[in-house]
Amino acid sequence: MAIEMVTETAGKDVTDMLRNAGLRPTRQRVSLAELLYSKGDRHLSAELLHEEAVAADVPVSLATVYNTLHQFTEAGLLREVAIEGNKTYFDTKVSDHHHFFIEGENKVIDIPGEGVGIGELPAIPEGMEVVHVDVVVRLRKKS
Amino acid sequence: MAIEMVTETAGKDVTDMLRNAGLRPTRQRVSLAELLYSKGDRHLSAELLHEEAVAADVPVSLATVYNTLHQFTEAGLLREVAIEGNKTYFDTKVSDHHHFFIEGENKVIDIPGEGVGIGELPAIPEGMEVVHVDVVVRLRKKS
DNA sequence: ATTTGTGCAAATCGTTTGCATCTGA
DNA sequence: TCAGATGCAAACGATTTGCACAAAT
């Protein structure tokens, strides 16, 4: 019953979140949003989210997952993290922060708190402005 | 004539560079290496290098360009920079440094000198070691 | 009713691979 | 000679798109 409440509440939150973002709260979008936001900060690929959705008896097509992820990103609900060559990861935490990347495991982890301080920004070229600073600390298992 | 000399010299350097790296200085590899290293530090995709090669009357296949880029990378002559989702960029500057990325133009630029200082590294998770720290400062044209 | 979203399958893009053919030491 | 390199075309994985169908306002 507590679980029911949580689920309902999450559903409501998510519905509002979508509406506020100007996105129709369709079955699929609500379900995907719940998967994305009900487990803390996450970093996932479209493929992985699709698998989770199917596993959760929310059969969405992979195409819709891609569409949805991009719509969420445009709406500012997600951030794309470019860390690795071919695969795209989406980060449910949109505020400023940086990442660890575990090589070999292809795993992305938030760097907690203000873990990294950029000493000073370099001179920005003429007529340009900074959109974002990404720091990726690549890790491997100690040998 | 000055140009001839430069070309020959570059060819020689490049041949040695390849030999030292344990790579046979074949026609294609020498040509690609010259394109890569005769214009200062560069950041290019396989596709772009292939186009340059063809334009320079060095018809290599795209597959060979890919192979070559990876061999050079393994040999430590290039570095792969993961900046953007789908495309892979190779950096002819292998020493430690960071990058500007111009959004919209898909252009990668070295941050000169010690432009960026990482204040302090965050706590590294148990049993892990840092392979590399990548900093990407994303820029857009000021509006 | 109208507009917007969804699913499927086919198309695309970047990259890799298998294999027959060439080439450098 | 002959291991190693190349080219081509086909294979591939991730992502996208076109279009008929379904659902939300």
* Bases of chain D with protein Cβ within 7 A: 4-10, 13-18, 23-25
Mean pLDDT, rounded, of chain B:
86
Q: Domain-by-domain residue ranges, chain A?
A: 8-116+123-139
| pLDDT the model gives residue B2 | 42
CB contact under 8 A, B141 and A127: yes
Residues of chain A positioned with their CB less than 8 A from the CB of B103: 131
> What is the four-CA torsion angle of B57, B59, B62, B67, rounded to 10 degrees?
-100
Give residue-wise pLDDT tens across range B61-76: 999 999 999 999 999 9
Class of residue A134 by CB neighbours under 10 A (exposed 0-12, middle 13-18, buried 19+): buried
Question: What does DSSP assign to residue B51?
Answer: H
Find the helix or strand (DSSP H, E) in which A60 lies. Answer: none
A20 CB closer than 7 A to any strand D atom? no
Query: In b/e form, how buried is each residue of A65-83, taking b as 16+ CB within 10 angstroms?
Result: beebbebbbeeebbbebbb
Q: What is the CATH number of domain A8-116+123-139?
A: 1.10.10.10
Answer positive or negative: Cα dihedral of B107, B89, B46, B44.
positive
Give residue-wise pLDDT tens across range A21-66: 999 999 999 999 999 999 889 999 999 999 999 999 998 999 999 9
Q: How far is A22 from chain B (nearest CA, A)?
A: 25
Q: How far in angstroms lies nucleotide C13's C1' from the CA of residue B86?
A: 9
The structure's pTM equals 0.85
